[in-house]
């Protein structure tokens, strides 16, 4: 598999519920307060009912946030192959597409790599995680959704941790990401199951002290992440 180094716990705030009128400032503030990377949710109104932003916004953020900050693109879009080059040109670093949205995941993985980005594959709550096992050696990250994709602020689905623990047992060096309803009150479950990339949205962006929340998420890893 691609990631054969020691796994690192990293916190990637989702900017979905940030103040869109000053998004670059919001992003820079998250990085200043300890974010390891930024999670950007792209929704097309087709694969999921909500609509967010596309490549032009990403390009603008890239110019104003800095090249050293990893942009983790969560592509909740139909036909994810269509947007690969646009996102690469806009300055995206990692392109995570949904297994359910692609007719040919192998092809999508290949063209993301050819575009110079890291690649990930995501699964919705009702999708058996076994369906993405064949791609684990080809991708940089597998994203396990802990809510139904499409909207922020949903309740964390703890039963999804069985997917994470299953993948961790089979792929001990693979980056595993969780996204949806994660907060300091439940992140221990994520770490215990083996997730090392933690997407956290509202719990960080809606808090008056985002640095304290990020620090707490990282502190929980010291006791709970054993991989």
Catalytic residues, by residue number, are 41, 179
Could you say which DSSP state residue 30 is in?
A: H
Token digits for 169?
């047992």
CA distance 154 to 149: 9
Strands (E), the chain: 10-13, 38-43, 71-76, 94-98, 118-123, 141-145, 175-179, 197-200
Could you tell me how far CA 28 lies from the centroid of its own chain?
18
Tally of CB atoms within 10 A around 21? 7
Element (H, E) at 61: helix 55-65
Taking CA 139 as the corner, what is the angle to CA 157 and CA 87, rounded to the nearest 5 degrees?
A: 90
Token digits for 15?
């900017």
Nearest to 43 by CA among 101, 85, 111: 101
């Amino acid at each position: 598999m691609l990631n054969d180094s020691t796994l690192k716990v990293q916190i990637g705030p989702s900017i979905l519920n940030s103040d869109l009128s000053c998004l670059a400032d919001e992003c820079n503030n998250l990085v200043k307060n300890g974010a390891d990377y930024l999670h950007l949710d792209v929704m097309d109104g087709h694969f999921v009912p909500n609509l967010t932003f596309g490549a032009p916004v990403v390009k603008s953020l890239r110019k104003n946030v800095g090249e050293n900050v990893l942009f983790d693109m969560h592509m909740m879009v139909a036909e994810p192959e269509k947007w690969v080059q646009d996102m690469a040109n806009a300055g995206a670093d990692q392109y995570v597409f949904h297994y359910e949205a692609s007719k040919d995941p192998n092809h999508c993985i290949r063209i993301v790599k050819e575009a110079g980005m890291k690649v990930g594959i995501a699964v919705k709550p009702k999708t058996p995680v076994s369906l993405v096992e064949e791609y684990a050696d080809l991708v940089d990250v597998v994203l396990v959704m802990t809510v139904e994709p499409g909207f922020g602020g949903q309740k964390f689905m703890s039963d999804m941790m069985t997917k994470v623990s299953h993948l961790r047992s089979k792929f001990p060096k693979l980056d595993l990401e969780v996204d949806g309803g994660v907060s300091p009150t439940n992140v221990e479950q994520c770490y215990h199951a083996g997730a090392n990339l933690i997407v956290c949205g509202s719990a960080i962006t809606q808090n008056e002290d985002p640095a304290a929340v990020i620090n707490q998420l990282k502190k929980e890893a010291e006791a709970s992440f054993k991989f």
